[in-house]
Chain A
Amino acid sequence: MATIKEELRAAVKKLFDEDRIDYFVGYVEDYGHTFPAILAKGSDLSRLTFDRKSYNNLADFLPELRGSRVGLVCKQCEVRTLNVLAAEGQIERDKLVVVGVPCPAMVDPRKLPADEAGLDDLDESYWQEKCRRCLERNTPFADVFVGERASTPTPAEGWPLLQEVEAMSAEERLAWWREQMSLCIRCYACRLACPLCYCHQCFVEDNKPQWLDKSVRPENNLHYHIIRAIHLAGRCIECQECSRVCPVGIPVDVLNNVLARDFAERFGYLAGETAEAKPALTHYERDDKEDFIL
C-alpha cells in the first residue's frame, strides 16, 4: 500500500501535470526537519511529506501568492483559516486546490526527543496542546484527499495552562503576564507566522504616528500583544502557530483563545467554522448581545 508521502507526491505531480496549479505549498523533509516549501513546476517533489512535524499553517503563504493557482496541504484544524481568509477577501477559493490529509497529531517541538525514531508512536504527552484536544483528524472538505481516513480521536479535557491562568486572581494574572512579557524579544514571529496577520503594514511598523515604542520592555511588549490579540478577536482560528514559533516560549495563544471563547459564548460564532459565516465583528444580528451598552 502506498504511504501517505507517496500518495501526496503522486497527487501533487498530477496537479502539476494537469496544469491545475502554478505553485504547491506543502511540507518537505530535509536535514532532519520537516518544513514548508513553495514548489513551482519542475521542482523535485520527492521530498514532499506529511508527518508529525508538519507544524506550519500553510495558509500563511496564501495572501502573498494571491492571483496564482495554488495547491496546499491543509490539516483539519487549519481549514477554518481558509474560510476566514476567503470571507475577508484575501484568497480566491476557486484558485485553491486543497489537499486534505489525515492528521496524526503534531508533536510539540519543545518536547521532541533527540532520537526521533519513534516519532509516530509518541503519546499525547508529547503532542501540541491543540492536538490533545482535537475532535476530528480529517480535513472536512478538500479537492484531493490523500492518506487513509483517521479515526475519531478522544480529546483530552481542558487546557491545563489556560485553567491555571484562569484560576489566578486578577493581580496574579497581571503579574504572570508581566513575567511572560519580560521574555518577549519582539521578533514578531508570532505575527508573521499568523496566517490572519496579513496586513501589509502592521501598526508596529507605523511611525507617523508611532503607536508603539521600539524599546523592548514588558509594558511595550504587552501593548503589542494586546493590540494584536484584539485585532484577531473573532478571527483567530486557534492554530497556535504564534506560540509554537515563539523562540522564548511565551504562550501567546492563551490571549487569543480567551477571546475566541468569548466570541463563541457571546455570538455563537467560531471563526471560519463555515465558508458562509459572516465575520462576527463586521456583521450585526438582531439577537447579538448588547449587555455591554450601559
Chain B
Amino acid sequence: MAAEYYRLSKDKVAELFERARADYDVVAKTRDANGNLVYGRPVSFDDVAFVDEQPPMSAKAFALPQTEALVRYERENDKIRAEGPEAPTRDILIFGVNMCDATAFDIIDRVFRWDYLDDPYLGRRAQTTQFALACASIQQDCFCDRISYDEDGVDAVAYDLEGSYLIKVQTEKGRTLVERYKDLFATEDGDAESSIKAFKEKAGTAKKEPMLESAKPALEKAFEHADWEILASTCIGCGVCTYVCPTCHCFDIQDEGGSSRGRRLRVWDHCTGRTFTAMAAEQPRDRQYKRYRQRLLHKFWYYPERFGPLLCTGCGRCITHCPVKINIRELVEYFGGLKDTPPGGARHGK
C-alpha cells in the first residue's frame, strides 16, 4: 500500500497506549528489575521509556523467541501424539520500537518465508505490529546511516516533530492501528516526506556514503585475506553479538523431556560458538576467526546475495555489547575496501 501520513498530538500518546492495551499485548521500552532497558510490558504508561537508547536485547524475540516448542509429543498407551506449537493468543503491538529493530523483522521474514514457510515464526510475525519511534539522535556505535535499508516493511513510524508526532503508515497492520483509534489521529496536510527528511538530517540518521552495501564486491575477494586471523583473534566466541542482534536468526533444535512426553524446541544458537558446526568427524570452522568471519560475511555477502538487503540494520549492538569491542562496521569497511587501515592497528605478523 502507498504510505499514509497522520499527526498524533503528544498529549494523546498516553491515551493511545492505554486504549491499545485492550486490543493488543502492548510491548514497549521499559526498565527491568536491575534498572536496565528492555522491551517489556510496562505496568503503566509512566513506565514506558521514551529514549533513543536501545535495550540490549532487540525486539526479535517477539517473533522468534529464544526458546519455543516446535513440537509437543505425548505417548498414550501404544500411540505417540505429536502436535505443533501453540499459536499466540493475542496480537502484539511493539510500541515505540527502535527503527533498527523494526526493520529487522522484514529482513528475517525473508529467510523464514523463502521456499518452506516456517509456520511458528510466520504465525507470530503475522500477529506482531510495529509502531516505531524514529531516533532523534544517533548513538556512538550506531551505523544505520550507512545501510540503505530504511523504513522498509515497518508498519507505522512516529517522527517526533516537537509538539506532535508525524506518523507514517506503510502496511495494513499499521492502518488497522490508526483506524482503531482514529479519533486520536489527525490527518497530515504538510509535505510529510520533507519533514521526515529534515528530521533525519537533524538526528544524524540520514544516509551517508559510502553505504556498506558497496563493500560486497571486495568482501567476495577477501575471504582468504591474511588479516582475518589477527583482527578477529580477540573474539572470545560468546553469543553476545548474535543474541543481541535484531537480524541474527540461526537456531538449534533440541528435545527436552522423556520418551513418553516432552517438547522439541527451537533455541537460538550462535555461529560464533565453537560447537555450531562441529560434527563427529570434522569441524569445518576450526578456528575462532573463521567463526567470526562467517558471521560478518553472512551479513554482508551471503545473505544479500540470496535475499537482497544486508543482514544488518546498523543498530551497533554487537559493538556496544561485545566483551572485546570487535567492530563489525570497521571490519566491513576494511575487508570491503572502503578503508585502508585495519581497526585497532593490528596486522598479521607474517
Interface, chain A (partner B; CB < 8 A): 22-23, 28, 30-48, 56, 60-61, 114, 179-180, 183, 185-189, 191-193, 205, 213-217, 241, 244-245, 247-251
Which stretch, B22-30, B126-134, B188-196, B235-243, touches the partner chain A? B235-243
0 or 1 for each of B222-237: is its CB under 8 Å from A? (1 = yes): 0000000010011011
Q: Is B344 an interface residue (CB 8 A)?
A: yes
Q: Of A34, A35, A213, which one neighbours B234 at CB under 8 angstroms? A: A35
Report yes or no: A192 in contact with B323, Cβ–Cβ below 8 A.
yes
Tell me the residues in window 131-186 of chain B with beta carbons closer than 8 Å to chain A beta carbons. Answer: 140-141
The answer to whether A215 and B344 touch (CB under 8 A), given A32-B140, A192-B323, A193-B238, is no
Contacts of B270 in A (CB 8 A): 187
Task: Give the docked Cα–Cα distance between A252 and B286 (Å).
Answer: 30
Q: Which residue of B lies closest to A190 (CB)?
A: B238
Q: Is B346 an interface residue (CB 8 A)?
A: yes
Q: Is B94 an interface residue (CB 8 A)?
A: no
Q: Is B244 an interface residue (CB 8 A)?
A: yes
Report yes or no: B256 in contact with A35, Cβ–Cβ below 8 A.
no
Contacts of B256 in A (CB 8 A): 213-215
Nearest chain A CB to B150 CB, angstrom units: 24
Nearest chain B CB to A162 CB, angstrom units: 15
Report yes or no: B56 in contact with A56, Cβ–Cβ below 8 A.
no
Report yes or no: B330 in contact with A38, Cβ–Cβ below 8 A.
no
Contacts of B268 in A (CB 8 A): 185, 216
Task: Give the docked Cα–Cα distance between A56 and B326 (Å).
Answer: 13
Report yes or no: B267 in contact with A214, Cβ–Cβ below 8 A.
yes
Q: Of B36, B234, B275, B323, which one neighbours A248 at CB under 8 angstroms? A: B36
Task: Give the docked Cα–Cα distance between A193 and B325 (Å).
Answer: 12
Task: Give the docked Cα–Cα distance between A60 and B327 (Å).
Answer: 19
Report yes or no: A193 in contact with B236, Cβ–Cβ below 8 A.
yes
Nearest chain A CB to B34 CB, angstrom units: 5
Task: Give the docked Cα–Cα distance between A205 and B238 (Å).
Answer: 12
Nearest chain B CB to A252 CB, angstrom units: 12
Q: Is B345 an interface residue (CB 8 A)?
A: yes
6 further A-B pairs in the complex, CB-CB below 8 A; given A35-B325, A187-B238: A40-B349, A183-B32, A189-B323, A191-B238, A205-B275, A216-B67
Task: Give the docked Cα–Cα distance between A205 and B233 (Å).
Answer: 21
Report yes or no: B323 in contact with A28, Cβ–Cβ below 8 A.
no
Report yes or no: A189 in contact with B239, Cβ–Cβ below 8 A.
yes
What is the predominant secondary structure among interface residues of chain B facing chain A? loop
Report yes or no: A179 in contact with B33, Cβ–Cβ below 8 A.
yes
Give the top 3 A-B pairs by smallest Cβ distance, nearest first.
A40-B349, A44-B345, A35-B325
Q: Which residue of B lies closest to A244 (CB)?
A: B323
Contacts of A38 in B (CB 8 A): 230, 233-234, 346
Contacts of B327 in A (CB 8 A): 30-31, 33
Contacts of B324 in A (CB 8 A): 35-36, 56
Report yes or no: B244 in contact with A247, Cβ–Cβ below 8 A.
yes
Nearest chain B CB to A221 CB, angstrom units: 11
Task: Give the docked Cα–Cα distance between A253 and B33 (Å).
Answer: 17
Most buried by A among B57, B275, B325: B325
Nearest chain A CB to B266 CB, angstrom units: 10
Q: Which residue of A lies closest to B325 (CB)?
A: A35
Contacts of A47 in B (CB 8 A): 344-345
Q: Which residue of A lies closest to B348 (CB)?
A: A40
Report yes or no: B330 in contact with A215, Cβ–Cβ below 8 A.
no
Report yes or no: A215 in contact with B254, Cβ–Cβ below 8 A.
yes
Q: Of A30, A45, A56, A189, which one neighbours B240 at CB under 8 angstroms? A: A189
Task: Give the docked Cα–Cα distance between A250 and B326 (Å).
Answer: 22
Contacts of A114 in B (CB 8 A): 140
Contacts of A56 in B (CB 8 A): 323-324
Q: Is B265 an interface residue (CB 8 A)?
A: yes
Task: Give the docked Cα–Cα distance between A45 and B255 (Å).
Answer: 50
Task: Give the docked Cα–Cα distance between A61 and B288 (Å).
Answer: 12
Report yes or no: A39 in contact with B237, Cβ–Cβ below 8 A.
no
Q: Of A36, A40, A247, which one neighbours B243 at CB under 8 angstroms? A: A247
Tell me the residues in window 230-280 of chain B with beta carbons closer than 8 Å to chain A beta carbons. Answer: 230, 233-234, 236-240, 242-244, 252, 254, 256, 265, 267-268, 270, 273-275
Task: Give the docked Cα–Cα distance between A250 and B33 (Å).
Answer: 10
Task: Give the docked Cα–Cα distance between A216 and B269 (Å).
Answer: 11
Contacts of B349 in A (CB 8 A): 22-23, 40-43
Give 15 A-B contacts (CB < 8 Å), ordered by A residue.
A28-B345, A28-B346, A40-B349, A44-B346, A45-B345, A46-B345, A180-B34, A183-B36, A185-B239, A189-B323, A191-B238, A205-B275, A214-B252, A214-B265, A215-B267
Q: Which residue of A lies closest to B252 (CB)?
A: A214
Most buried by B among A31, A180, A247, A248: A247
Contacts of A30 in B (CB 8 A): 327, 330, 343-345
Report yes or no: A35 in contact with B344, Cβ–Cβ below 8 A.
yes
Report yes or no: B346 in contact with A187, Cβ–Cβ below 8 A.
no
Contacts of B9 in A (CB 8 A): none
Nearest chain B CB to A100 CB, angstrom units: 22
Q: Of A37, A180, A193, A215, which one neighbours B346 at CB under 8 angstroms? A: A37
Q: Which residue of A lies closest to B329 (CB)?
A: A31
Q: Of B233, B254, B341, which one neighbours A213 at CB under 8 angstroms? A: B254
The answer to whether A43 and B347 touch (CB under 8 A), given A37-B234, A216-B66, is yes
Task: Give the docked Cα–Cα distance between A216 and B238 (Å).
Answer: 15
Task: Give the docked Cα–Cα distance between A272 and B343 (Å).
Answer: 34
Q: Which residue of A lies closest to B239 (CB)?
A: A187
Task: Give the docked Cα–Cα distance between A38 and B327 (Å).
Answer: 15
Q: Which residue of B lies closest to A215 (CB)?
A: B67
Q: Which residue of B lies closest to A56 (CB)?
A: B324
Q: Is B321 an interface residue (CB 8 A)?
A: yes
0 or 1 for each of B106-142: is its CB under 8 Å from A? (1 = yes): 0000000000000000000000000000000000110
Report yes or no: B239 in contact with A186, Cβ–Cβ below 8 A.
yes
Task: Give the docked Cα–Cα distance between A247 and B240 (Å).
Answer: 7
Report yes or no: B345 in contact with A249, Cβ–Cβ below 8 A.
no
Tell me the residues in window 285-336 of chain B with beta carbons closer than 8 Å to chain A beta carbons. Answer: 319, 321, 323-327, 330
